[in-house]
Structure 1
Amino acid sequence: MTRKARPAIGARLSGLVEGVGTLGQPATMTLLLSDLQPGAFQPRVHFGTEALEELAHSIREQGVLQPLLVRPLPGGRYEIVAGERRWRAAQQAGLTEVPVLVRDLTDAQAQLAAAVENLQRENLNVMEEVRARLQVAASTLGVSPEQAVPRLFALDRRPDEDPETVARLDALFAALGRESWRSFVKNRAALLNLPEDVQEAVRTGLDYRKALVVGRVEDREQRQGLLEAARAGATVQALREQIADPQERRADPTQAVLRRLADRRTLAGLEGARRRKIERLLQQIGELLDSAET
């Protein structure tokens, strides 16, 4: 069965994403599959064989229900901005042409359209979702994906320097759902810097928080052992203990807790209830220390 875009997200994005407001309109024309080519800004890297065959089966029965978004290229060809999975599945299904929306988009608009269209779907793996969100941020900032992360950190530290861009990022990420851009850059953007074997583990279901711990290990053989432990159910803390220096393991546990609290990602990565509980405990510790000094 084909995956449909989530209308609630599409509605909230209306008017926020310049140049892609036409997504979801009826097809304006059909094009030969041979006239189309994959886009340069596709967040997807892996197209699962089984999922692609499932989509091809649906297309054989129902056709392509949602048009591809394409932009014209010199020489009469077209670049796929959004819908490469449908294009690939249509080829497998034996189709010769597909419905399309043709739009003249700049590189920045095409990059944003590709990211948003993919994020409206529910079958992205974590790595693809992170890559798509980074493309949204990069397009909003007018920089490359590689430059986007340090720029986001700078805006997080000094939001008053560019309040308009901060407001645009806030609106786009709120419309996309799941997390703010601040939470994204502090917690999940680092996944794109992990070794390939760890990224592959995330693509196949490993919790990203465990992956960030395992990814600190340079030795591939040691990483494989940690990945096996993580898949078997080892907690984030257990993985941290496995990679800790022996001297650190014997260190004062108070110092170990203080080091973790000093890491800004510790609290930022916690969900609401856990974070509130830790904040209450810290408040109680502060009150005990205050009473000890009186």
Structure 2
Amino acid sequence: MTRRTRPPIGARLTGLVAGVETLSQPATTTVPVASLGPGTFQPRVHFDDDALADLARSIQEQGILQPLLVRPLPAGTYEIVAGERRWRAARLAGLAEVPVLIRPLTDAEARMAAAVENLQRENLNVIEEVRARLQVAAATLDVPEADAVARMFALDRHPESAPAHVEALDRAFGTLGRETWRSFIRNRAAVLNLPSDVQAAVREGLDYRKALVIGRVQDAGERLTLLERTHTGITVQELRALVGGAPARGGAARDPWVKVSRRLADARLRAGLDERRRAQIEKLLRQLDALLDG
């Protein structure tokens, strides 16, 4: 008897990336609200109370129009893969049961489904959208989220090392729209490394490009001052000049001590280093440390 091999993760997730096909199927059952729990791979970290209250009122009038996607857990409980916002609103509305689709998804499939379902919403902030896209990339590459950006930087530098992964990323991000995975890692992925105060400002609507500039500043008081300046219409270029990210027009080049220290503090830059350059930089840092001690 020939043993059937399981298809690669990218192939198994194609349907989910193409539009979360399982979410379009009819609801198969209802389960008690109390038997459901939040998803492990939920990209959202903030649920607006007023928006939840509005959704709860809508659910009281019309019910839940789209079933939740869940996967079974031991002891008869379920983890929400997609639809946590509807579940929270259902609890506010006083519902005892909710319609669900029960699917035995793997972690990678659950992560992908949660990400794609959230990316179909229009009210995601930049932090949530970036995290969802990172989950798509991690599931496509079958790596932990913490390793996904570094892996994509490596593929960007050496696409010939894993052409199947490059093709899978092209296909996944092409389906999601808006940006390529290469554009994603070079521009928006770094918002997840921003200090918590700057991330909070992004959730409230701060342009991510301004946030990335302000995030270079290590002093919390200085960051607060810059965040307040964003309410006055300050441009990205003006912010860069203020924090030393770029010299002001006609000005002298910035202090190399400041330039190097800020570049070393850039988590996105560190993630993109290959092993050879990382080793060289670490050697130079040890030499610099010895010079400063001497």
TM-score tier by shorter-chain length is 0.7 to 0.9
Q: d(CA) in 2 for partners of 1:18 and 1:34?
A: 31
Query: Residue deviations 1:177-233, cap 9 Å, x none?
Result: 111111001000000000000000000000000000000000000000100111221
* Residue equivalent to 1:148: 148
Distance 1:246 1:172, change over 3 A: closer
Distance 1:252 1:72, change over 3 A: same
* Residue equivalent to 1:67: 67
* Residue equivalent to 1:240: 240
Q: Which amino acid aligns with 2:105?
A: L
* Residue equivalent to 2:203: 203
Q: d(CA) in 2 for partners of 1:211 and 1:246?
A: 15
* Residue equivalent to 1:6: none
Taking structure 2 as the reference length, the TM-score comes to: 0.78
Q: Contact 1:194 / 1:215 at 8 angstroms: preserved in 2?
A: yes
* Residue equivalent to 2:45: 45
What is the CA-CA distance between 1:152 and the residue it aligns to?
A: 0.5
Distance 1:14 1:246, change over 3 A: closer
Give aligned-pair identity as a percent: 65
Structure 1's unaligned 5+ residue stretches are 1-12, 254-258, 264-294
Q: Which amino acid aligns with 2:200?
A: E
* Residue equivalent to 2:91: 91
* Residue equivalent to 2:117: 117
Worse-superposed segment, 143-152 or 243-252: 243-252
* Residue equivalent to 1:107: 107
Q: d(CA) in 1 for partners of 2:162 and 2:247?
A: 45
Distance 1:95 1:112, change over 3 A: same
What is the CA-CA distance between 1:18 and the residue it aligns to?
A: 9.2
Q: d(CA) in 1 for partners of 2:107 and 2:19?
A: 11
Q: Which amino acid aligns with 1:242?
A: L
Q: Which amino acid aligns with 1:244?
A: G
What is the CA-CA distance between 1:250 and the residue it aligns to?
A: 7.4
Q: Contact 1:41 / 1:111 at 8 angstroms: preserved in 2?
A: yes
SS at match of 1:23: helix
* Residue equivalent to 2:138: 138
* Residue equivalent to 1:35: 35
What is the CA-CA distance between 1:17 and the residue it aligns to?
A: 3.9
Q: Contact 1:206 / 1:231 at 8 angstroms: preserved in 2?
A: no
Distance 1:250 1:75, change over 3 A: same
* Residue equivalent to 2:54: 54
* Residue equivalent to 1:212: 212
Taking structure 1 as the reference length, the TM-score comes to: 0.78
* Residue equivalent to 1:15: 15
What is the CA-CA distance between 1:242 and the residue it aligns to?
A: 1.0
Q: d(CA) in 2 for partners of 1:183 and 1:64?
A: 37
Distance 1:87 1:183, change over 3 A: same
What is the CA-CA distance between 1:164 and the residue it aligns to?
A: 1.0
Distance 1:16 1:99, change over 3 A: closer
Q: d(CA) in 2 for partners of 1:245 and 1:101?
A: 50
SS at match of 1:22: helix
Q: Contact 2:241 / 2:248 at 8 angstroms: preserved in 1?
A: no
Q: d(CA) in 2 for partners of 1:115 and 1:135?
A: 6
Q: d(CA) in 1 for partners of 2:14 and 2:23?
A: 10
Aligned residue runs from structure 1 range 137-176, under 5 A: 137-176=137-176
SS at match of 1:69: strand
Q: d(CA) in 2 for partners of 1:87 and 1:245?
A: 44
Structure 2's unaligned 5+ residue stretches are 1-12, 254-258, 264-294
Distance 1:22 1:221, change over 3 A: same
Q: d(CA) in 2 for partners of 1:246 and 1:20?
A: 43
Q: d(CA) in 2 for partners of 1:245 and 1:120?
A: 35
* Residue equivalent to 1:184: 184
Distance 1:34 1:239, change over 3 A: same
Query: Residue deviations 1:231-289, cap 9 Å, x none?
Result: 22100011111112899887547xxxxx9xxx9xxxxxxxxxxxxxxxxxxxxxxxxxx
Query: Residue deviations 1:158-187, cap 9 Å, x none?
Result: 111111111111111111111111100100
What is the CA-CA distance between 1:19 and the residue it aligns to?
A: 11
Q: Which amino acid aligns with 1:113?
A: A
Superposition CA RMSD, Å: 2.6
